[in-house]
Structure 1
Amino acid sequence: MPLAGIALAPLLVSPLAPPSPRGSAAAVSAEPARRRRALRRVRCSAAAASGGGELSRATLLWRAAKLPIYSVALVPLTVGTAAAYNHAGLFFARRYFGLLAAAVLVITWLNLSNDVYDSDTGADKNKKESVVNIVGSRAVTEYAANVSLLLGFGGLFWAFAEAGDVRFIVLVLCAILCGYVYQCPPFRLSYRGLGEPLCFAAFGPLATSAFYFSNSSRSISSGTVLLPLSKTVIASSILVGLTTTLILFCSHFHQV
């Protein structure tokens, strides 16, 4: 017999060695673990597809705060103030920051009252980030909204006393009125397709021009120095209004 046949003879004659009992036990014990991992992956994928599970309270509060919305307080004020500085070289830092705080308070009122009245209509019934749903009380949310509005009015009338320009307070009150009829009963014009025009008027020509006029100055020697309405202010206010309106319009797309 050739040497190769002699070497292979034991393998051909003897049966194959049985699998190791230890290896079989390890394979059997590893099978449930693999199944559990696969099940967890399936559950995670299903949760991600359905929008996730329960959100933390901190996440809900962050969403309810809607911080980007407060840019509509900053932009008209800054553009109007810049127009006044460009025209007459006037800038009053204390008045600027006081008006910024007042504008933020007014926007807070808009945000909170919107949640209050949406809860009345049932629009926010399943909206987890609604302030009313988070707090669990419509009355508390409405009270906070009204307090914010009153404090905002205080800042606005303080600025009016500083500037002495009645055009400022008239225009800014008209802008706030637009916000009221936008969402508050019995008007709720946003439900009638008038939200975008009201947004354009409030944050564009009304608010931007009002903040421009807020930079008028009053002194004992020269009396009240009123700023004239210029083409720059008109064009800037229209641009701010269009930008704000487009942002509001595009924010509805995810709800379709």
Structure 2
Amino acid sequence: MKKFHMSSLTTRLEVAFVGALVVGLSLHYHKIVRNEFYGYPQEWFPSVSATIGDRYPERSLFMLFIAITSGPRFALVGLWYLLTARRGKALPKFVAATGIFRTLACGGFTYVTSTDDHDRHDVFMISYIVATLPWTVGCIALSSPNSRAVKHRKRLAAAFFATIIPMVYLYIQHKVHRVPGAYTKYAFCEWSLIILDVAFDAVTVYDFSSLEIAVRDTQGLSNGSAGTSPCPIQYRDRFTSWERGFIVDEANYPSV
């Protein structure tokens, strides 16, 4: 029996960001905390962009784990659509399209780093944040009103958008007024958005707990000969474990 946990998506994202941060602080601390105006000690904590895009090997580590999470992220969007889609309702389709766009934008600011092209990197990151608004509101609107998930979503969404306000203010203080230390405070807001965003998507574990996907071999192809296999294989995914069961066709086994 092979077990699979939906939390693995969250774990991989945590490894991607936290792993890059730990490696960056260990190997290139003074370099990644420096910005165009100040360095250490005025600035003493790196931004997300500096952590994931400026130096090797933290950049490669981040890219690797983001690539690993891309499949589960697309799967999350698709399964959420299947769970919420209703005939004649356009909102589930819009939310799904927004989710796909967010995932592509995430790939954009991941693989076009601030060192490679600062402007395009910012465009992808801003696009991701902007697309998070309809994704968040849409997911809340499509959630069951009495579910435990919607309560967590509302709290996380409120915290996410509340964090954007001081983040924008601190960025202006850094970029326009060149206030020492403002970028470090901005970096904390940026990292907070990452944590809240990952937590928001992780809440879907409550919604998917009752969803089952079954893939069945109805022709015996898994045994090498179509139509003659006595043991077709059935896979079930309840998002907490994989179950592999062998279904024996009694018609192929005459009683002795």
TM-score surpassing 0.5? no
Instruction: Look at both structures and tell me which one has the larger radius of gyration over its CA atoms.
Output: 1
TM-score (norm 2): 0.33
Greater helix percent: which structure?
1
